[in-house]
Amino acid sequence: MTCRKCKAEIPNESAYCLKCGTSQETKKRKTRTHGNGLGTVFWDKTSWCAERTNGWEAKSEDGKLTVSRKYKKKRGFKTKREALQYLGKLIDIDTQRPISTIAQLYEAYSESAMLKLSKDKIGAYKNAYKRISPLHNKLITSIRISELNNAIVGLSHYPAKDIRDLVSNLYKIAIVEEQVQTNRALSMVLPELTDEKETTPWETEEVKTLWLDWKSGGRIAGACLVMIYSGMMPGELFKLEEQMINWSSNTILGCGMKTKKRKEKPIVFPDFIAPVLRDLYTTTPSKINRVLGMNRDRFYDEFKLMKQRLGIREEVRPYSSRHSTSTALSLAKVPVALIVEIMRHKNYTTTLKYYNEQQTKELVDAVNQLRIDP
């Protein structure tokens, strides 16, 4: 073997180098001198510093919880040993906090930060809490990531996201209370959000089926017809209230979402869809004057049941209604500039996409006529 220092060749059994006398034994790594959680010491430019985390502090702004670290620090030690000895003085003597269940944390959250959220978000969180009923009586420290992921199996993106966000807020409270150290909700894997560009429009026969079902009392079919013939998004339909509707001008204002143009530009609807709107309003179970009278989760569940009952294609989604509006306007040869205003698109290129899709189909039909059979 070779010497650790001078690299001279020496017998394998040598404890010391025969040339320079250096010991060939490796030094054992020094073990930790203070336990995890007692604090840390470090060199701070001119002196040694002792620091210890003594808890976490939560701040609530607009219903959102943020967590920051609380710590004590002292500088000015000449040696590392002095800093280590001082760590004990930085420890706050505190009584052991009890561990909360999901139900207890939800009760605390629902009576504080959750009250500052919108009515829609509060409703979404209440439904999310109901969906995780198997976890209600579990201690926050005992919940596994696999259990959290199992809670969202079979759900679409948005209901699953509501569960993830709610549980994350509960973990933040538990972190502040020093019951847990990490937010396991952040490890939940949400279902993919289907891109709007891949949305499949309704077919003509399917729309006819919706009309028949609405005449037989189908409120979900009526809601789809309203979106098809007005270009409304599902979220806008959920927010729609009767006072937002101007029956004399066939316009709706006040439920627009996402972009500034969609919020400020009125939604227009044809005369023949007015009876459907009135029917939805007169049959609504809402106590706060909402036209549809149901939240997102219930609507999507009933929409799925309606598709199965009417034989609607699996790939059709609620957003297919808005896509169908653009497609139908293009088929009717409505000028692109008018489609932009009807759809309340922010960018001209978004409208042009639907227009070009239809134009391309017409071009293909045209060149197909060039065929000459032998």
Cα 83 to Cα 20, 32, 44, 70, 186: the distances in Å are: 38, 15, 12, 19, 36
* pLDDT tens readout for residues 246-292: 998 888 888 888 777 778 888 888 888 899 999 999 999 988 889 99
Of residues 38 and 231, more confidently modeled = 231
Of residues 181 and 211, more confidently modeled = 211
pLDDT of residue 103: 93
Does residue 334 surpass a pLDDT of 50? yes
81-85 contact pairs (CB < 8 A, 24+):
82/48, 83/41, 83/48, 83/49, 83/50, 84/33, 84/34, 84/41, 84/50
- Among 91, 100, 103, smallest CA distance to 140 is for 100
Overall average pLDDT of the 26-36 stretch: 51
The answer to whether 241 touches 290, Cβ cutoff 8 Å, is: yes
* pLDDT tens readout for residues 114-160: 998 888 789 889 999 999 999 999 999 899 999 999 999 988 888 99
Which of the residue ranges 102-116, 157-171, 311-325, 350-364 would you say has the lowest mean pLDDT?
A: 350-364
How far apart are the C-alpha atoms of 53 and 68, rounded to whole Å? 11
pLDDT bucket at 355, cuts 50 / 70 / 90: very low
pLDDT of residue 24: 78
- Among 220, 235, 256, smallest CA distance to 124 is for 235
Of residues 86 and 328, more confidently modeled = 86
What is the overall mean pLDDT for the chain? Answer: 80
pLDDT of residue 363: 42
pLDDT of residue 276: 92
The answer to whether 28 touches 142, Cβ cutoff 8 Å, is: no
Name all domains of the chain by residue range, CATH numbers in brackets: 40-90 (no CATH), 102-193 (1.10.150.130), 198-365 (1.10.443.10)
Cα 196 off chain centre by: 16
* pLDDT tens readout for residues 153-176: 988 888 999 999 999 999 999 988
pLDDT of residue 277: 92
pLDDT of residue 50: 86
Of residues 371 and 2, more confidently modeled = 2
How far apart are the C-alpha atoms of 222 and 93, rounded to whole Å? 63
Sequence-ordered alpha helix ranges (H) in 231-273? 234-239, 260-264
pLDDT of residue 297: 86
Percent of the residues in the chain that have a pLDDT greater than 90, as a whole number:
29
pLDDT bucket at 328, cuts 50 / 70 / 90: low
pLDDT of residue 337: 61
Does residue 95 surpass a pLDDT of 50? no
Does residue 322 surpass a pLDDT of 50? yes
DSSP letter (8 states) at residue 195: P
CA angle (208 as vertex; 207, 211 as ends), nearest 5: 90
Does residue 319 surpass a pLDDT of 90? no
